[in-house]
Amino acid sequence: MNAKTVLVVDDDPHIVELLTLYFEKEGYCVRSSGDGISALESFAEEEPDVVILDLMLPGKDGYDVCREMRRVSDVPILMLTARGETLDKIVGLELGADDYVQKPFEPKELLARVKAVLRRVEAGGAAREREPERERVSWPGLEIDKSRYLVRIDGRTVEMPPKELELFYFLASHPNRVYTREQLLGSVWGYDFFGESRTVDVHVKRIREKIEENGGGQGWQIQTVWGVGYKFEVE
């Protein structure tokens, strides 16, 4: 099996050196960049399996880098933030990041998160191979093709980051069934996801905005069940 490639993007050479030691010891191939522009160049050249991305970067900040990576790839992205503010985390998740880690962090925890997100990617790929016929769902004015990561609402193609699409697909595949945030985290992000249930709220908010922007919701909607979670409600 080929070694997985990790792209570490951070302008602190000590952090880069530390993570390189930890990941190489675990058998990963590590590439690094110290600014946003070179990070995008390395990303295009190396095609890494996972990206560890600092928010505060010279040249282009982590938000811009994440946005540009998401335009061309669904590679897992874990964001690093020194501020620990909820807004930082929410914006990162809205841009398509899969997880976030607050500085200072334990390298072992970050390594565990990377392993977890890669397991989810591999499990998702295996599931698509086993059950290709179950990768599409449609309702009036809505089509979600998870195998091609495609969403159409009222005939228009709608761009969605991978986790938004996967959450939308999961809910639409189980109409009128209520799921708690923890159940959705387990089913979409994986039971070993380290994030908070707030992650689900952020993604649902973004999905609803895109439904409204594209004139959707013809007999269906993502409904909040107060005190419990969410459901894809069909009339």
Asked if residue 106 and residue 71 are part of one domain, the reply reads: yes
Indicate whether 11 and 122 sit together in one domain: yes
Q: Which two tokens stand for residue 62?
A: 């982590």
pLDDT score of 1: 52
Verify that 166 and 113 share a domain, yes or no.
Answer: no
When pLDDT is cut at 50, 70 and 90, the band that residue 130 belongs to is very low
Q: Are residues 140 and 116 in the same domain?
A: no
Structural domains in the chain (count): 2
Q: What confidence tier does 102 reach under pLDDT thresholds 50, 70, 90? A: confident
In this prediction, residues 114-122 reach a mean pLDDT of 81
In a shared domain, residues 110 and 152: no
Give the SS3 label for residue 235. coil
Per the CB < 8 A criterion, the answer to whether 203 and 219 are in contact is no
Mean per-residue pLDDT for 55-80? 87
Mean pLDDT value across residues 179-190 = 84
Instruction: Round to whole Å and give the CA distance between 98 and 108.
Output: 18
Do residues 142 and 213 lie in contact, with contact meaning Cβ atoms separated by under 8 Å? no
User: Is the pTM for the entire model greater than 0.85?
Assistant: no
